C-alpha cells in the first residue's frame, strides 16, 4: 500500500490486490455481522463483537440500556452497513483490479472509511479478546496473522487521518 | 474528576439546569489520532482542546465531552457509537 495523499478534493492511495482483498473481506464480515444482529447467540463471539459496535449507552445493564439500543440500533446498523458498503465500493469492480488497486476518496467516502475501519478493528479486537491497553501483547501465536492484519488496518486508518489532517487543524 | 477545568464547566452547566453528561471512555482499539479527529469534527473542538480531552481519555480512562439535556446527550452518544467510540451518558449527582 502507498500511503494516502491528497490530490485536490480527493484523497487517494494504492493497495496491492491482496490488501484490497483483505479490506473488502473484513468490511463484508462486519456487514454480515450487523445484518445478523437480531439472530445472534448471546454467548457467541459474534455477539461480543456486536457489543463493541453497539455498546451500552448507560452501562446500567438494565432497562435504560435495552431501551436505548431498541431505539437506536436500527439506524446505527443501517449507517454502519452503509459505511462498510462505501469502503467496498471504493475499490471498484474486482474484475478490473490490476496489480495495484487505486482508491480515490471524496470527503464523504473518507469519513465512511474512517468509521468502517474502526468497526473492522473493533470486530477483530473482540475476536482476539483485546479489552484493555496492552492486551495485544499477550495474543496467542496462533492468532499472530490476525493481529498483524489488525495492526495494518490501524496503519491504513492512521495514513488516511494524516492525509485529512489539514482540514481539522 | 481530576481536571479542575471540567469541574468548573460542570458546575456552570448544573446551574443552567443541564445535569446530564456524555463521557467517552478509554478503549484499547481506537487510535489516539482518530479520537482527536472525532472530537474535532463532531464536537467542533479546536485542535488543542480535542487533544487535551483525548489525552484525558487516554490517561484518566474517560473524559466529559458534552453537558446538556438527556435527549441531547443520547444524540451525542449515538453519534459516538457510529464513530465506534465507547461513550455513555449519565446524570450528574447534584
Query: What's the complex ipTM?
Result: 0.93
Closest residue to A57, CB basis, from B34, B47, B77: B77
Higher-scoring residue by pLDDT: B39, A38: B39
User: A133 to chain B nearest CA, in Å?
Assistant: 5
Interface contact A164-B84, CB threshold 8 A: no
pLDDT bracket for residue B38 (50, 70, 90): very high
**CA B79 to CA B94: how far, in whole Å?**
26
Please give the backbone phi and psi of residue B50, each rounded to the nearest 5 degrees, phi first.
-60, -40
**Which of A160, A151, A158, A149 is CA-nearest to residue A103?**
A160
Interface contact A136-B28, CB threshold 8 A: yes
Question: A36 CB contacts (<8 Å, ≥6 apart)?
Answer: A46
Mean pLDDT of chain A: 93
Task: Indicate the pTM of the whole model.
Answer: 0.91
pLDDT value of residue B1: 33
Partners of B20 in beta bridges: B68, B91
Measured between beta carbons, the chain B residues lying within 8 angstroms of A53 are 81, 84
Among the ranges given (A64-68, A95-99, B16-20, B81-85), the one the predictor scored with the smallest mean pLDDT: B16-20
pLDDT at A134 over 80: yes
pLDDT value of residue B2: 39
Higher-scoring residue by pLDDT: A43, B65: B65
pLDDT value of residue A42: 82
Amino acid at each position: 500500500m502507498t500511503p494516502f495523499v491528497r490530490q485536490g478534493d480527493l484523497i487517494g492511495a494504492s493497495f496491492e490486490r491482496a490488501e484490497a482483498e483483505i479490506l473488502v473481506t473484513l468490511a463484508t464480515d462486519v456487514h454480515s455481522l450487523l445484518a445478523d444482529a437480531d439472530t445472534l447467540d448471546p454467548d457467541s463471539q459474534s455477539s461480543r463483537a456486536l457489543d463493541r459496535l453497539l455498546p451500552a449507552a448507560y452501562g446500567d445493564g438494565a432497562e435504560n440500556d435495552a431501551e436505548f439500543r431498541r431505539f437506536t440500533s436500527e439506524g446505527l446498523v443501517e449507517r454502519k452497513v452503509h459505511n462498510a458498503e462505501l469502503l467496498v465500493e471504493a475499490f471498484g469492480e474486482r474484475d478490473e483490479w490490476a496489480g495495484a488497486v487505486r482508491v480515490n476518496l471524496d470527503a464523504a467516502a473518507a469519513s465512511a472509511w474512517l468509521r468502517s475501519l474502526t468497526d473492522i478493528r473493533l470486530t477483530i479486537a473482540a475476536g482476539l479478546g483485546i479489552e484493555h491497553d496492552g492486551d495485544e501483547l499477550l495474543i496467542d501465536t496462533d492468532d499472530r496473522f490476525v493481529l498483524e492484519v489488525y495492526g495494518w488496518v490501524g496503519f491504513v486508518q492512521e495514513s488516511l487521518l494524516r492525509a485529512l489532517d489539514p482540514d481539522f487543524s | 474528576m481530576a481536571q479542575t477545568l471540567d469541574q468548573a464547566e460542570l458546575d456552570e452547566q448544573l446551574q443552567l439546569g443541564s445535569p446530564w453528561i456524555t463521557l467517552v471512555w478509554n478503549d484499547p482499539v481506537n487510535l489516539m489520532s482518530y479520537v482527536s479527529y472525532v472530537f474535532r469534527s463532531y464536537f467542533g473542538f479546536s485542535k488543542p482542546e480535542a487533544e487535551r480531552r483525548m489525552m484525558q481519555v487516554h490517561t484518566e480512562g474517560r473524559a466529559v465531552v458534552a453537558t446538556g439535556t438527556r435527549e441531547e446527550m443520547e444524540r451525542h452518544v449515538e453519534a459516538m457509537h457510529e464513530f465506534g467510540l465507547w461513550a455513555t451518558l449519565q446524570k450528574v449527582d447534584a
